[in-house]
Chains A and B, each alone.
Chain A
Amino acid sequence: QVQLVQSGSELKKPGASVKVSCKASGYSFNDYAVNWVRQAPGQGLEWMGWINTNTGDPTYAQGLTGRFVFSLDTSVSTAYLEISSLKAEDTAMYFCARENYYAGSGYDDYWGQGTLVTVSS
Chain B
Amino acid sequence: DIQMTQSPSSLSASVGDRVTITCRASQSIFTSLNWYQQKPGKAPQVLIYAASTLQSGVPSRFSGSGSGTDFTLTISSLQPEDSATYYCQQTFRTLISFGQGTRLEIK
Contacts and interface: CB of A to CB of B under 8 A. Distances in A.
A113 interface: yes
A107 B98 contact: no
B44 A45 contact: yes
Interface stretch (A9-17, A67-75, A84-92, A98-106): A98-106
B34 interface: yes
Interface residues of B, number: 27
A44 B32 contact: no
A59 B50 CA distance: 22
A108 interface: yes
Contacts of A111: 43-45
A35 B1 contact: no
Contact of B44 (A50, A95, A104): A95
Given A37-B44, A44-B85, A108-B89, 4 more contacts: A104-B32, A105-B32, A105-B91, A109-B46
B1 A62 contact: yes
A32 interface: no
A108 B46 contact: yes
Contact of B87 (A35, A44, A103, A107): A44
Nearest to A46: B98
Given A35-B96, A109-B55, A113-B43, A45 B34 contact: no
B96 A47 contact: yes
A103 B53 CA distance: 11
B27 to A, nearest CB: 15
B100 A44 contact: yes
Nearest to A59: B94
B95 A61 contact: yes
Q: Lowest 3 A-B CB distances belong to which pairs?
A: A107-B49, A111-B43, A105-B32
B97 interface: yes
A104 B87 CA distance: 21
